[in-house]
Structure 1
Amino acid sequence: MGNTHPGATSPLGMVSACAYSGAYPTGYGRYAKNTEGVPEEMFEQLQASGFTHFQQSGTGAIRKYYNYVRVTPMVQPLDDLGEAWPLRDEVAEAGYYAATLDTGIRCELTVGTKVAVHRYTFPEHGSARVVVDMSCGGLAIELGRTVPLRAQVQSMGHGRAQGTVWMEGVPLSVYVEVDSPGWRQMLWYDRRLVDGGTRLDFDSIRHTTLRPFGMLFMGPTTAGQTIEVRLGFSLRGCDQARQNLERECGHGQPAFDPVKSGTQARWSEHLDRVQVEGGTPARRGVFATALYHSLIKPCFADDESPFWPTPGPYAFDVCTMWDIYKTQLPLLAAIVPDRAVALLESLIRVCEEEGNFPIGYRMARGADRFFRQASALVHTALADAHALGRAGLDWNWALVHMVDDLRRMYGEDFWEHGVVHPITHTLDLAYGHHCTAQVARALNDVGLADDLENRGRQWSNAFDPETGLLRDSEFYEGGKWNYSFRLLHDMAARIALAGGDRAFVGKLDRFFGFGAAPVKQPGRRPQPEEMAAGYALNRFEGLNNEPDMEAPWAYHYAGRPDRTAEIVHAALTWQFGTGPGGLPGNDDSGGLSSWYVWASLGLFPVAGQNLFLVNAPAFGRAAIRVGGGEFVIETSGHRETPIGVDGVDRDPPAQYVQSATLNGKPLHAAHLSAAAVHRGGVLHLRLGPEPSSWGREVRPPSLSDQSATSEEAR
């Protein structure tokens, strides 16, 4: 399960809209919460009690903070609100979702950047209804509900209403227009109409005192009659929600088709920024879907921060940096650089507002720091942006926050002792110091840079020289084997600590299971003993496991890019597909899909080091639209290998780079600077069926081995 949803979205937009069942994942689906084995079904078929807004995309055990403002078209009494009806005839396109409820109502959804538009086609009925439930939030599973802290709802007359709910300390306002001439409208509370009432106010709502409330529009329909519902959202009050609606939908006229066309045009323009040629239709479909998933999050709501008073970028759904910093942020930096810079400015504002860079940040006061996951991850994206010369940021101010953030939380112990547990935070903080040192040195603060660089060398304190692996500790979603193959800033020293190239490659081979028997996967309701035995194998857990995402490329640093080619090729061929289960685990806000995009292109970004590693691509030719023009990856000798599904070649071989040129000049290294990619050019890779000597001698750069930074590597 990728934990994605088929709802309507806009590229990196504020609003999404989808059918709502209340089940896991995302509120669209039919499963109970699950973190181990095959998930349990909550019900037998897809069903919906209405349509909600603000869905997660691909994250794991997240339950709250999503699925607000449920809109339900009904031909039943209000007492039946909350009943779920089977879904049929679903259609999902970029920017559009449609389904028919079992009641016979055809439901279509589209979104703009800050608006959603619903279109409902009713059967003939004497008393049809559109019900807006302002109390909805989260999922209908244990500990999954998000309850408003307080709320206000107001009926404005003439098919207009507005309201604000404070969710997790954040005010979410909506302005609603319902195009339904002659219909009655009223407020409701606890499934009872509020006769003559034009305003509801609630304070101090608790789980035990919550009763549903919202707006209702009701009247007769003829067969095939359509009712359009337009919703403008804002985090800065109902007036701004109304202005957002008017800006994208106009003043009271039907808006569904124009909004849909505009959003689909934005999707086409974004998706066209990466073009591939060759491959099977299935592989191209998986690639296009991966690129689409990579551009749903983070959610931008510019000029909407409820905490920062001035206009400017605001990204409110960064869930989480741990998921996206290795793959997705470098992809955004390449194909939507303006949004990548806006994200960094937004995170700097959050840091100034709350005192530290968030690991996770959602529509919630307090930034949900996810402190167990990792430390100092924003530093990698800032270091890369500075190395690329990105304008639009006050780099002196950014450096202030980078340095201060390193001394907070786990950073205080690292500052005093040079090591901290969980031990993975030692690696994070050492890397964060290295990234910050690069920015400080570029800004001519030599003393600060030297001090930071010296502290950055303390990554070695995390390793046991006897085993060449990380020291025993607690680990988040993995064990010491999963985290032991991080791509550090001094991989030459890391490999030497493990006993040299041969020993390091041997440990990697063991981790990836070369020569080992297949691992039996857990099924439904696995026993604790079964899970413990699986973890004890100390094996690669999968690409959806964040610590494992970059591990295949660790071979590059030991002179074995052929091993990287084998593992990446096998993953692309066998772990991804077009049907149910087409993702090998949580998509994690687009982090896994971004991995697929980079791996298919034959590139892998090393976050924080202004570096790309090069591998055999999955397509014969690809072009990335970057700021400097186009970066083209072309091949000769490429063999088309179909995606691994029944009925096709069951064992397509990997391909290996035999030689390479960059802009016509020989390239002997299996790496490129990010600057070389971002300014555009042509990388030509000659492929063959057997491993070669290419990329074995000139290693990617390491802090202790400056000779690796050759002219061709730069």
Structure 2
Amino acid sequence: MIRRKIILIGFVTILSFNISCLPQAEKKETNYAQFVDPFIGTQNEGHCFPGATAPLGMVQVSPESYTEHYEGYEMDHVTGYQYNDPKIIGFTQTHLNGVGCPSMSDILLMPYCIKNIDPSSRVNFGSTYNKKNEKASPGYYKVYLDDNQVNVELTATEHTAYHRYLFDNQESARLLVDLQYGVSWDINSIASNVLEAFQQFGDDYTLVGYRKGSVWAERDLFYVIKFNKRIVKKQSLIAPGNKDEKAPRYIIEFDMDDSKTLEVQIGVSTVGIKEAKDNLESEINSWDSFDQIRTQTNKKWNDILKKIEIEGDEGKKTAFYTSLYHLYIQPNNIADVGGKYRDSENEVEKASCGKYYSTLSLWDTYRAANPMYTILSPDLVSDMLTSMLDSYNNMTIDPQNPKEANKYLPRWQLWGKETHTMVGNHAVPVFVDAYLKGIKPSQYTDEQAFDAIWSSVTLPHYRNHVELTDSFGYIPYDVQLSSIDDGRETVSRLLENIYDDYCAGLFADKLGKKAESDFLKNRSSYYKNVYDPVSGFMRGKNSKGEFKKDVDVSEVVGEWLEGSDFTEGNAYHYLFHVQHDIPGLLKLMGGNDVFVEKLDSMFYSNSKPEVKTLVWKINGTMGQYWHGNEPCHHVPYLYKYTNQPYKTDKIIKTLVDDYYHNKPDGLMGNDDCGQMSSWYMFSSLGFYPVNPCGGKYILGAPQLKKAVINLPNDKEFRIQAKNLSEENYIVQSITLNGNLLNRNYITHKEVINGGVLSFEMGATPSN
């Protein structure tokens, strides 16, 4: 991630001179983008992409590199690229950042200037390349393809991709356009990636079309592809293996007019070809403007990155600012420049605030990414809330489909389509946290917002087993009241859903709805109903109230197993998943000493979490703690609720130093739309939202000597760690604006009001 240097242009003041007469000191503009390394997280399970994108943009133009299916592939190439792959097979226009399921990688282009390539296989167009010739920075990507003898440069705006190719030999310049390609769980299944398609060459410079992708969520993509050279020949290729593919592949040749450079501009839309064209013409209105667009996008990234200034060496800057970069790749505004988008019902809608933010990985991001947005970008948060309510308002219920029998806020929404991925209704904490911090949606009343939240937590829908919960006080694994009850992940679904109940109860309180608040607060205490005092863990329970016996507490389970207790986790991970009531959990487990002992047994276990029923290598573990997956992210801070808070300080230092590296394999888990990166940022700054709703941040142990958050209200929140060093990493005392803090948290209000948070660091625990 990155760090930026601020050079203050000061003025030497003569003693007798009135300082008020001096011009105001100015800050020299810093290029923060120089500290971002987009290759971090592109190898192994980070699942990041190195290509070009604008902040929160709909387009992410980036290379594709995978060529074959192999055991374990499912956990590698879900974003189409791995840093160590020897070949690039093309460049596509859309990608996701750090997710665990495949999707996107639309419209593959591959330039080359050699005459004979066998088109019977997609991988035959691939080219080797030298890593020294591959470069990436915010809004820009470049690589030289050795076999194809062409230099490729990519940049992007919010709705458009801009390619620039420099051929070694313009006389044999060609371009592969593959409209069928897209990532999936198996590269051999590309033939089923597209459900329907339409395309035509509008003139000798333009290809327009439509494709409906099928992977993870059905998505409608309309596009306009423009070339700055006239097409003189186009060849339609037979599908590999003569399979029935809905979209074609073309080889296109151009009148290069003695030029070695070919430029390609691509506009996209979910609404229509006209809208894709409007997006393109609005954001890129001329040829030979590649460098101008690259500069503009780089500036947009610098405007984001300068929100936080940190002091540290080059490595710290790279780590921090790359994290900030990853945070703002999404959510993605999929509304056109005119504000239209296509919703989950495949209807064209007008976004209430002019933007529609999707790519909502809420099971991950509600924990730290969304709270970070509330500090840095409250206007963005307001638009996100509005988009969520637009989604709810436009949803059509289907009484014949139990998954869609009632309205609900998004769970994991991709390009306006609900994927039903993961558990919980975690739009609720995102919404309520923002609301309690004074951030509201536009165009919607409080009552409309409460209706959406109330429906989401009290009416049944997929993985929201409210009938079972209200009947038993937990979710028994052996009872089915409706077709959506499947006996899977029962403990996780309860714990995550009652956290949402707690948040909804806070909202009800705020609106003076006592009956609803009492009901929700009561249900939020149901974590006590699945705590087994004999085993000392949360545990699955049958309808007779009997806990499961002989459970392997280290085994990671999930929806893929019948009768599973947890969601991508084990008994250790979900024991501590009571984010809204850590004191109550501590008491339930037997008090301070027992609680600390259980935490110790997690972090310093001789065994590690293990998936025994899938090909899934677990990385990023510390004992039974699993930093590579989100349910654990708040657990290092739980010592701060005990009489041994210094244990948090050591664990945070270890995780920051050893679990994040400025290398392609430097993320030991999916970045998950910025959640892994947000944990790093919060922990480096010295505080973290253990309870991500309500506006309190638990004080941790800063890993930076100095940092400044440049707040949207033009105030500054300064953080300093005095005496911080490799030996002095334990917090001795904390002051806020010079006043000693005798509590384990600061509030959101204290942060946004500006001020100075000062940590005194030392080598041993302090009394």
TM-score (norm 1): 0.84
Name the CA shift for 1:131/1:364 in 2 (closer, same or farther; >3 Å). Answer: farther
2:207 to 151, 161, 174: 161
User: How far apart are 1:185 and its partner, in Å?
Assistant: 5.2
User: Retained in 2: the 8 A contact 1:332–1:339?
Assistant: yes
Deviations 1:566-608 (A, max 9, x none): 1111111111111232112221221111111111111101311
Q: Is the 8 A contact 1:570 1:654 kept in 2?
A: no
- Please give the secondary structure, in 2, of the residue aligned with 1:209: coil
1:414-563 aligned at under 5 Å gives the runs 414-420=469-475, 422-472=490-540, 474-513=565-604, 517=606, 539-563=623-647
Corresponding residue of 2:169: 124
Instruction: Select which of 701, 705, 708 maps to 1:620.
Output: 705
User: Tell me, what secondary structure is at the counterpart of 1:619?
Assistant: coil
Match of 1:68 in 2: 106
The residue number in structure 2 matching 1:707 is none
Q: Is the aligned partner of 1:306 residue 2:350? A: no
Paired AA for residue 66 in structure 1: M
The answer to whether the 8 A contact 1:9-1:111 is kept is yes
- In the alignment, which residue of structure 2 is the partner of 1:151? 197
Q: Distance in 1 between matches of 2:738 and 2:68?
A: 51
Tell me how far apart the structure 1 counterparts of residues 608 and 581 of structure 2 sit (CA, whole Å). 36
Question: In 2, distance between residues paired with 1:223 and 1:184?
Answer: 14
Are the aligned partners of 1:587 and 1:593 in contact in 2 as well (CA < 8 Å)? yes
Instruction: Report SS of the residue matched to 1:270.
Output: helix
Alpha-carbon separation, structure 2, partners of 1:321 and 1:636? 32
Whole-Å Cα distance in 2 between the matches of residues 331 and 309 of structure 1?
A: 29
* SS of the residue 1:233 aligns to: strand
Q: Give the distance between the partners of 1:531 and 1:270, measured in 2 at CA.
A: 35
- Equivalent of residue 316 in structure 1, options 358, 363, 387: 358
Task: State the Cα distance separating 1:222 from its structure 2 match.
Answer: 7.6
Q: Which whole-Å CA distance do the structure 2 matches of 1:558 and 1:261 have between them?
A: 50
Q: In the alignment, which residue of structure 1 is the partner of 2:97?
A: 57
Offset at residue 179 of structure 1 (A): 0.5
- Please name the residue that 1:635 is paired with: 720
Q: Residue 659 of structure 1 aligns to which amino acid in structure 2?
A: S
Contact 2:392 2:409 in 1 (8 A): yes
Equivalent pair of 1:383/1:435 in contact (CA under 8 Å): yes
Q: How far 1:183 sits from its partner (Å)?
A: 3.7
Tell whether 2:358 aligns with 1:273.
no
In structure 2, the partner of 1:649 is none
**Residues 433 and 548 of structure 1: is their aligned pair in 2 closer, same or farther, counting only changes over 3 Å?**
same
Alignment of 1:197-346 (within 5 A): 208-210=243-245, 213-214=248-249, 216-219=251-254, 221=256, 225-250=260-285, 252-278=286-312, 280-302=313-335, 303-307=339-343, 309-311=349-351, 312-318=354-360, 320-346=361-387
Letter in 2 for 1:638: N
What is the CA–CA distance in structure 2 between the aligned matches of 1:164 and 1:50, rounded to whole Å? 20
Q: Distance in 2 between matches of 1:309 and 1:520?
A: 48
For the Cα contact (< 8 Å) 1:601–1:633, is it kept in 2?
A: no
Quick one: which amino acid aligns to residue 571 of structure 1? L
Match of 1:388 in 2: 437
C-alpha displacement of 1:552? 0.5
Corresponding residue for residue 33 of structure 1: 73
* Distance of 1:24 and 1:399 partners within structure 2: 49
Q: 1:558 to 1:623 in 2, by over 3 A?
A: same
Contact 1:479 1:538 in 2 (8 A): no
In the alignment, is the contact (CA less than 8 A) between 1:659 and 1:686 conserved in 2? Answer: yes
Report the Cα distance in structure 2 between the residues aligned to 1:481 and 1:157, rounded to whole angstroms.
Answer: 62
Q: Which amino acid is the alignment partner of residue 184 of structure 1? A: V
Partner of 2:12: none
Q: Verify: 1:581 aligned to 2:665, yes or no.
A: yes
The residue identity in structure 2 corresponding to 1:411 is V
How much does 1:539 deviate?
4.2
Q: 1:150 to 1:539 in 2, by over 3 A?
A: same
Go from structure 1 to structure 2 and tell me whether the alpha carbon gap of 1:191 and 1:468 turns closer, same or farther (over 3 Å shift). closer
Per-residue CA shift, 1:227-273, capped at 9, x if unaligned? 110001111101010010011101x4323112111110000110110
1:402 aligns with 2:464: no
Q: Distance in 2 between matches of 1:482 and 1:612?
A: 21
The answer (yes or no) to whether the contact 2:224–2:267 under 8 Å persists in 1 is yes
- Partners of 1:663 and 1:24 lie apart in 2 by 58
> Residue 565 of structure 1 contacts residue 616 of structure 1 at CA under 8 Å; is this kept in 2?
yes
CA distance in 1, matches of 2:149, 2:566: 50
How big is the alpha-carbon RMSD for the aligned residues of Structure 1 and Structure 2? 3.0
Measure, in 1, the Cα distance between the counterparts of 2:681 and 2:259.
Answer: 43
* Letter in structure 2 aligned against 1:53: Q
2:129 maps to: 87
Distance 2:73 2:355 in 1: 34
Deviates more, 1:104-113 or 1:449-458: 449-458
- State the alpha-carbon separation in 1 of the partners of residues 731 and 263 from structure 2: 55
Aligned length: 644
Report the alpha carbon displacement of residue 22 of structure 1 after superposing the two structures with TM: 3.3
Report the TM-score, using the length of structure 2 for normalisation.
0.78
The 2-side partners of 1:665 and 1:50 are apart by 58
Which stretch has the larger CA shift, 574-583 or 104-113? 574-583
1:44 Cα shift? Answer: 7.5
Matched-pair contact (CA < 8 Å) for 1:418–1:461: yes
Is 1:672 the equivalent of 2:672? Answer: no
Residue 693 of structure 2 corresponds to residue 608 of structure 1:
yes
Give the letter for the 1:446 counterpart: K
Name the SS for the 1:86 alignment partner.
Answer: strand
Structure 2 CA distance for aligned equivalents of residues 630 and 42 of structure 1: 41
State whether structure 2 residue 422 is matched by structure 1 residue 362: no
Q: Secondary structure at the match of 1:5?
A: coil
CA distance, structure 1, for counterparts of residue 648 and residue 608 of structure 2: 24
Of stretches 71-80 and 97-106 in structure 1, the one that deviates more from structure 2 is 71-80
Q: Secondary structure at the match of 2:73?
A: coil
How far is the alpha carbon of 1:187 from its aligned partner?
Answer: 6.6
Change (3 A) 1:286 1:412: same
CA contact (8 A) 1:613 1:671 kept: yes
Instruction: Give the Å deviation of 1:613.
Output: 0.8
Whichever residue aligns with residue 745 of structure 2, its letter is: H
SS across alignment from 2:210 = strand
Deviations 1:95-146 (A, max 9, x none): 1001011221000000100000000001224332223222111148357646
Following TM superposition, by how much is the alpha carbon of 1:675 offset from its aligned partner in structure 2, in angstroms?
A: 2.1
Specify every segment of 5 or more residues in structure 1 that has no aligned partner in the other structure, as ranges.
193-205, 641-651, 694-714
1:172 aligns with 2:187: no
* Matching residue of 1:706: none
Deviation of 1:390 (Å): 0.9
Distance change >3 Å, CA 32–CA 527, structure 1 → 2 = closer
Identity %: 25
